Structure 1
Amino acid sequence: MRIAICDDEARGRERIQTLLEKEFDQVQTREFASGTKLLAAVREGYQPDILLLDIAMEGMNGMETARQIKALSDVILIFVTGVKEQVFQAFDVGAFHYLVKPVEEERLKEVLNRAIQEVHKRQSTPKFLLVKTGGAHRRIPVEDILYVENNGRKVVVHTRTEKLEYYERMNHLEEVLGEGFYRCHRGYLVALGTISGYDNTSITVSNGDKIYLAKQKYSEFVKLYCRFLKE
C-alpha cells in the first residue's frame, strides 16, 4: 500500500508520518513539499494508492493539485486542512474524505482504514470485461454495464449505450464482475451502482429498464444494497 503525504510544512508531514509508522506497518510512504513535486513524480510513474493532501499550500494549492492529479491518477484523495470551512470545497474534486489539523491519531486511523478498504475493493473489481462478439474481442468498461441477462447458452450485456450478446455462463460472469454486482434472479446480474429504484418483484436501473428480483432474494438484496449505499 503506497501512501503519499503532500504538505508544504515539514512539521505537518512529520506529524502524519509518525502516526502512520505507529499504526500501519504494511505501508510505503513518500513525502512531498509541494503539489508541483508530487505531480512531477506521478508523471514520472509514481502511483500512490492514497494521497494525504494539504489544502493551504503556497504556490500550487491543494485544490489545484487535486484537479491535476485526478486527471493522471485514480488515487484515493484525503484532504488535510486547518480550516474546517475548506472541507466543503474538497468534495468538488472527488475527495474520499478529509482530516482537520492538528490531525488526531484515532481520526487518522479511522479514515485511513476506510480508505485502505476502498483500495482493496477497487483492486478486486475489474475495470474491463473482455467480450467476444461478431468474431472480434472487445473491452467493455465495467462501469458502463447496467446489468447482464441470461439467454440460454448466451448472455446479453446491457451497457449505457448498447447490448452485447455472446457465449458465456452467468455463474462465471458473477464471479468475474465481483461484489459490485448482485445476482438478483437466476436470469439477471445487476450493477448495484446503476440501480435507481426497486420493489418486491423488480429492480429499475438508470436507463429505465426493469429486471426481475426473485422473491426469495428480496430481503438479502435490501440488506446488501443498503450496505452498498452506506459505503
Structure 2
Amino acid sequence: YYPKSSIKFGTVCYSSLTDKQRLFQNLDDALELYYSINQKIAVETKSGVTSVLTCDIVYVEAKGRKVIVHTSTADLDSTQTLQFWIDHLPQATFFQSHRSYIVNMAMVTSFDHELIYLCDGQFTAYLTRRKFTEFKKAYLMFMESKR
C-alpha cells in the first residue's frame, strides 16, 4: 500500500485496481497541467487581436475600467472583462488573488499575507487576507504537481 501523496507522479508499482485508478488520475492531472501551460489565448485590444501563450502571461489586472494583461514581453490593454479571463484561463495555473488580480502561479517568486511577488519581484499583485490560505494551498499543490 502506498499513500496517495507518495505516488503522485512518482515511480511506484501500480498493481491493484485502486492503484491503476490513481495512475490514470495522475496522468489526467499531468496532461491537464501540460495543456494549460502550452495553451494559446487571444487577447482582444482596441487595435486588434494578439495571440499569447498562457505561460507567458504573468498576471491580469483590472485597473478602473481597463483590464491589462501583463505578459513577459508586453502589457496589453484587453477589451475583454476580468470575468472573461477568470473563465478562460486554466484554473490549474491561474488564481484570482484579489478582485482585481489573476496571477500565474508559475511566475510566483514569493508571497506574504498582502502581496504576491512575481518574476523575481519585478511585478507585485495584491493578495486578500481571506484568500491567503486558499492561495497558499493552491500554490503548494501547483508546485507539487510540477515535481
- Superposition TM-score, scaled by structure 1 size: 0.51
Q: How far has the Cα of 1:177 moved from its partner?
A: 0.1
Q: How far has the Cα of 1:157 moved from its partner?
A: 0.8
- Greater mean alpha carbon deviation, residues 162-171 or residues 119-128: 119-128
User: Unaligned stretches of 5+ in structure 1?
Assistant: 1-95
Q: Which has the higher contact order (CA 8 A, sep 6+)?
A: 2
Q: Return the alpha-carbon distance in structure 2 between the equivalents of residues 203 and 131 of structure 1.
A: 24
Mapping 1:109-188, distance limit 5 Å:
109=20, 110-123=22-35, 127-179=39-91, 180-188=93-101
Q: Return the alpha-carbon distance in structure 2 between the equivalents of residues 206 and 125 of structure 1.
A: 16
Q: Return the alpha-carbon distance in structure 1 between the equivalents of residues 14 and 49 of structure 2.
A: 51
Q: Return the alpha-carbon distance in structure 1 between the equivalents of residues 37 and 53 of structure 2.
A: 11
**Does the 8 Å CA contact 1:192/1:225 hold for their aligned counterparts?**
yes
Task: From the superposition, tell whether residues 220 and 97 of structure 1 become closer, same or farther in structure 2 (CA, over 3 Å).
Answer: closer
**Deviation string, structure 1 residues 173-201 (Cα, Å, up to 9, x no partner):** 01100211111011110001110000110
Runs of 4+ in 1 over 3 A off after TM superposition: 96-99, 110-113, 120-126
Alignment RMSD (CA, Å) = 2.5
**Structure with larger Rg:** 1
Q: Return the alpha-carbon distance in structure 2 between the equivalents of residues 166 and 187 of structure 1.
A: 14
Q: How far has the Cα of 1:111 moved from its partner?
A: 3.8
Query: Which residue pairs with 1:26 in the alignment?
Result: none
**Deviation string, structure 1 residues 208-228 (Cα, Å, up to 9, x no partner):** 211111111111111111122
Query: Which residue pairs with 2:125 in the alignment?
Result: 211
**Does the 8 Å CA contact 2:95/2:104 hold for their aligned counterparts?**
yes
**Does the 8 Å CA contact 1:126/1:177 hold for their aligned counterparts?**
no
**Does the 8 Å CA contact 1:184/1:213 hold for their aligned counterparts?**
yes
Query: Which residue pairs with 2:142 in the alignment?
Result: 228
User: Unaligned stretches of 5+ in structure 2?
Assistant: 1-8
> Size of the alignment, in residue pairs?
133
Task: From the superposition, tell whether residues 143 and 104 of structure 1 become closer, same or farther in structure 2 (CA, over 3 Å).
Answer: closer
Q: Identity rate of aligned residues, in percent? A: 27
